[in-house]
Structure 1
């Protein structure tokens, strides 16, 4: 169990002026509230809230979040009420505990409609205070670390929920360390045989790989120092789920998977990043087509780095990531590294305008939950638009647009403007005319070709990928069908009036029409 003194020291490490008296009080309160309760492992239940608070400290969240982590199960699992928590610790901590309690009651494995509605509730909670979701992610990380004590059915349910919802959310929030750990832990239970095989194969060559990593780090650090760069060089094996996905997608064994090892170079400035890239490429031959510049073109979750693959010592293909210390902080902690804690009052712990700009997908998510009335459509849109790999496409003016993989020029046009989407006939991609079904690729420069008399077709729903395009097409088709029905109705009425030798227009202006209406 994480002792209170260790927790206090960890908080002081990044919040020297924090009210540690409040932290001690929350620790004692939660420990007494859970007294006598046991986990499935047989350990005292309080080991879990204490561990969650420790994970929250890893994210360097504020004191209210750490206290809420200690107290997050008190209302649900003991006799304490929200009112009790507010009386002891104030409204801010009580609100956080209440939010996490409600998220804990969300069941993602229920029937589809309920699952979708529960996810919507989760997004609403996130909108009110992003710390609620961050605390919940910390809770999930600790629960996954101790999942071996649960029954097999529960392991499968929790692991699948984690893989489908929480790991992608961690990725979207820019929390790469959480994403990788949650994926590996879920993989362990969802594909037990595959996990054991990959883990065994990786373990067999671990000592040899550790020596290789040490040699490359020493060589690279020395070369960079010769060029005047104070760089921090480290290396690691990629996580097991990532390796397995590559094996599965390429249908090969682990011995045929290249660049299993990734190296990280931390430097002082952006200009140093590019200069160090030159040093790396002068030392080892770069692999064509494997360079990615996420500094000039950050990922939607604000991840920034230069990525390159080179043929390293022993003809091994290795990946090298080059970034600044600030970029690394964001890469590991994501929105938790950016988020500015606001005083109690306006907007509480909600998403600031700055964060909404940095995490545009989050703003989109909050808009969807307001606009899409059908919960199932909302969840479908989230999984398609937010939890898939993206492609980066340029407008003719050089603006970058991000789309889920598999998107088409129709998705592109609707993202620019609804009218443009409604009248698109084709696209000029990299100067070449392409059909509406063309699959967008990263780096494409796309210019929409349109005609005023073009109209959306029901067939478009078969190949568009984004939720917004699908919703706008459906809306147009519904409106067109309504207008068609109104026109048909008017024609039928006019025909009947003509048969009776009565002018419909004159009738509509008459007193009789008013009485009829």
Structure 2
């Protein structure tokens, strides 16, 4: 029997169907946001959130993200992060929904204030980038950071919403072009991850760091992620076995608790591998457990130490790894008791012991601190964040510094570690690790800092640049004849000390800058160069290795840079001009020229191509070789420099000068040789150096530039500089060297 077959063809999705799907998805996201914020809503809040959503939806109508999604998905996601992952309330949701409206549409701050009030308008203004033309040589990114940070002392929610915005941008970075990915990831690592850490947002800080690694070194990220995935089942069983006896004892003792097990973040594992020069398998504390107690505020400290005692009844602790941040909390309010204990299988496990209140503050940072403060549960230990905000306010008062200098000073204040010291009367002071006696003096009082001559530490006389250690007790010695000098800036680390020293030196500095300006103008006229262009001054700044044009003028005024030196600049500039190579100011001017040179629509610099008109060279700070992931950076005075994306200077360059980053990749020119450095460590034996050089010179025909090997008590360390074709060539060499008996580790290093 024959039956008729019917073919059903799938109909293509029409624009109308797609629009309907997107409309339903927008409503789903909006309703999810409302469900999350519902417990925090008060009278009228729901109405104003709805108004903010409608305003944002209308303002961004027809706009799409790089991924092709409707733009409104982004503000909805930022608001969701602000509520779920930071714990912010209705006002922050309104601001998150509206955060891009002024920047990307015709709406003005005045419109926001009229519709939503002064507080919302103030926060939105802090979140809106500065528009307009920037002076040549300045950093628009640094100016925007400064504007955002200026609002910190008024309303910390600006920073918290900005962190939510940055986290969503990092989560959706895959749709960006490569140079955009590098710029945003580096900015994140330069300022936003340390800022999240400083505000106690550890979960967000860890995710930002992991995402940074994912986009700047995807191979390393995938490798560690894959190894963590492969070991997941074994890891979960290991943690379950480890916590079983602790769990039983805590239950028997009547504690109300939960225990969480978690692996270290990918970035922290990678940092440990880098720092200790070890493979993934040798990172010993990849495991961590957290014991969270529910107990009364006045019993917290006792309960945590009792639980510590129970843990150490079963497992031997590492005495060097005990961290008591309950008695002396970190400056961002973080409280916890950390120890590292040896498991029965010979693996180290980090154990964190804290209460529910401490865990809220550790996970949600300043937002949780704020919530407890409003509920009248503020703990004496949580005043650290308030103190830090006060320090930032003092730093913000110094308006004369450049934006880049301002951001650098601010970053110095986002310290990770602290040192605990005491006044002569026994008052505890918390300062950043690396702080000196002079920092301590300024922390006590500005005038004491200004007149500081030296100090007595534990009754022993020390100089003002003495680096403080935990437990030091200091008495500051002063003199009415003492006054700040430029050298002081070389060893102070706190922003308060730096700001006050700079303020004192400012008048003298201004005078030298003014004199330098006159000298430069006269000299340039004599050399027939136009003294009125910012470009010339900025080229001179780069030529004489000064951080800012003002610093260059100051050095001229003070006589550090002479008139003869300025003539040398003119001669080198003329010499560069005769080389017939085009100079660029930024990435856009480069892209225009490369299209002319190559005659195709491409904005990529191909390294190794014979392009007489493009002036580029490999950066000495990281020695890139073919196969390395690289980017180009348009310098002010030295053409284009090619850096590895993992270069130690990459984060700073891309954070402050994103508009000078250009895409670059290698062409396959095997005949070229590039300098690379290898560091070898192992156990010394007779004939080892001979075996190493045989592999390098005879087997792989690699030319060496230098070899230096030192032996100490049977352990050797060697540095070899050699010429290779590309990363594949280098990897083959490293694998062969790793097989040499006695060699324990072979790693690549950057600097010559």
Note whether the superposition's TM-score is higher than 0.5. yes
Cα distance change, pair 64–44 in 1 and its aligned pair in 2 (3 A):
same
Question: Contact 1:62/1:341 (CA < 8 Å) preserved in 2?
Answer: no
Structure with greater proportional helix content: 1
Tell whether 2:59 aligns with 1:41.
Answer: no
Cα distance change, pair 393–251 in 1 and its aligned pair in 2 (3 A):
farther
Q: 1:31 aligns with which of 34, 57, 60?
A: 57
Structure with greater proportional strand content: 2
Tell whether 2:96 aligns with 1:69.
Answer: yes
Tell whether 2:244 aligns with 1:213.
Answer: no
Question: Contact 1:14/1:60 (CA < 8 Å) preserved in 2?
Answer: no
Question: Contact 2:331/2:384 (CA < 8 Å) preserved in 1?
Answer: no
CA distance in 2, matches of 1:226, 1:401: 40
TM-fit CA distance, 1:208: 1.2
Greater mean alpha carbon deviation, residues 438-447 or residues 147-156:
438-447
Q: What is aligned with 1:368?
A: 395
User: Superposition RMSD on alpha carbons, in Å?
Assistant: 3.3
Q: What is aligned with 1:196?
A: 222
Q: What is aligned with 2:307?
A: 276
Q: Deviations over 1:425-481 (max 9, x none)?
A: 544444555444432223333344556766666544433333433455556667899
Cα distance change, pair 133–475 in 1 and its aligned pair in 2 (3 A):
closer
Q: 2:469 aligns with which of 441, 445, 462?
A: 441
Question: Contact 1:123/1:366 (CA < 8 Å) preserved in 2?
Answer: no
TM-fit CA distance, 1:142: 0.7
SS in 2 for 1:313: coil
Cα distance change, pair 390–221 in 1 and its aligned pair in 2 (3 A):
same
CA distance in 1, matches of 2:412, 2:99: 31
CA distance in 1, matches of 2:339, 2:382: 29
Q: Which runs of 5+ in 2 are unaligned?
A: 1-24, 375-380, 511-752
CA distance in 2, matches of 1:371, 1:479: 14
Q: 2:437 aligns with which of 397, 405, 409?
A: 409
TM-fit CA distance, 1:154: 0.5
Greater mean alpha carbon deviation, residues 406-415 or residues 359-368:
406-415
TM-fit CA distance, 1:356: 7.6
Q: What is aligned with 1:298?
A: 329
Question: Contact 2:103/2:129 (CA < 8 Å) preserved in 1?
Answer: no
Greater mean alpha carbon deviation, residues 251-260 or residues 85-94:
85-94
SS in 2 for 1:315: coil
CA distance in 2, matches of 1:455, 1:26: 54
Cα distance change, pair 455–272 in 1 and its aligned pair in 2 (3 A):
same
CA distance in 1, matches of 2:181, 2:509: 48
Cα distance change, pair 257–111 in 1 and its aligned pair in 2 (3 A):
farther
Question: Contact 2:129/2:144 (CA < 8 Å) preserved in 1?
Answer: no
SS in 1 for 2:321: coil
TM-fit CA distance, 1:46: 1.5
Question: Contact 1:11/1:18 (CA < 8 Å) preserved in 2?
Answer: no
CA distance in 2, matches of 1:424, 1:29: 57
TM-fit CA distance, 1:322: 1.0
CA distance in 1, matches of 2:452, 2:367: 41
Q: 2:318 aligns with which of 287, 291, 312?
A: 287
Tell whether 2:138 aligns with 1:128.
Answer: no
Cα distance change, pair 42–470 in 1 and its aligned pair in 2 (3 A):
closer
Greater mean alpha carbon deviation, residues 64-73 or residues 159-168:
64-73
Question: Contact 1:310/1:318 (CA < 8 Å) preserved in 2?
Answer: yes
Q: What is aligned with 1:60?
A: 87
Q: Which runs of 5+ in 1 are unaligned?
A: 344-353, 483-517
Q: Deviations over 1:394-418 (max 9, x none)?
A: 2233322222322222222232234
Q: 1:312 aligns with which of 305, 328, 343?
A: 343
TM-fit CA distance, 1:171: 1.2
Question: Contact 2:292/2:355 (CA < 8 Å) preserved in 1?
Answer: yes
Tell whether 2:206 aligns with 1:175.
Answer: no
For residues 207-286 of structure 1, what are the structure 2 equivalents within 5 Å? Answer: 207-269=233-295, 270=300, 271-286=302-317
Aligned length: 470
CA distance in 2, matches of 1:481, 1:143: 41
Q: 2:418 aligns with which of 381, 384, 390?
A: 390
SS in 2 for 1:44: coil
SS in 2 for 1:339: helix
SS in 2 for 1:37: coil
Q: Deviations over 1:174-197 (max 9, x none)?
A: 111111111111121223333233
CA distance in 2, matches of 1:107, 1:258: 52
TM-fit CA distance, 1:291: 1.1
CA distance in 2, matches of 1:341, 1:304: 14
CA distance in 1, matches of 2:220, 2:448: 47
Tell whether 2:124 aligns with 1:97.
Answer: yes
Q: TM-score normalized by structure 2?
A: 0.57
Q: 1:322 aligns with which of 353, 362, 366?
A: 353
Question: Contact 2:197/2:416 (CA < 8 Å) preserved in 1?
Answer: no
CA distance in 1, matches of 2:464, 2:117: 56
Q: TM-score normalized by structure 1?
A: 0.81
CA distance in 1, matches of 2:303, 2:328: 17
Question: Contact 1:230/1:267 (CA < 8 Å) preserved in 2?
Answer: yes
Cα distance change, pair 438–16 in 1 and its aligned pair in 2 (3 A):
same
CA distance in 1, matches of 2:111, 2:483: 60
CA distance in 2, matches of 1:169, 1:383: 8
SS in 2 for 1:128: coil
Q: Deviations over 1:288-323 (max 9, x none)?
A: 121111111111111111111111231211111111
Q: Deviations over 1:142-184 (max 9, x none)?
A: 1110001100000010011111111111111111111111111
CA distance in 1, matches of 2:433, 2:200: 19
Q: Deviations over 1:220-275 (max 9, x none)?
A: 22121122212111110111111111221222222222222111111123121111
SS in 2 for 1:23: helix
Question: Contact 1:64/1:93 (CA < 8 Å) preserved in 2?
Answer: yes
CA radius of gyration, larger in:
2
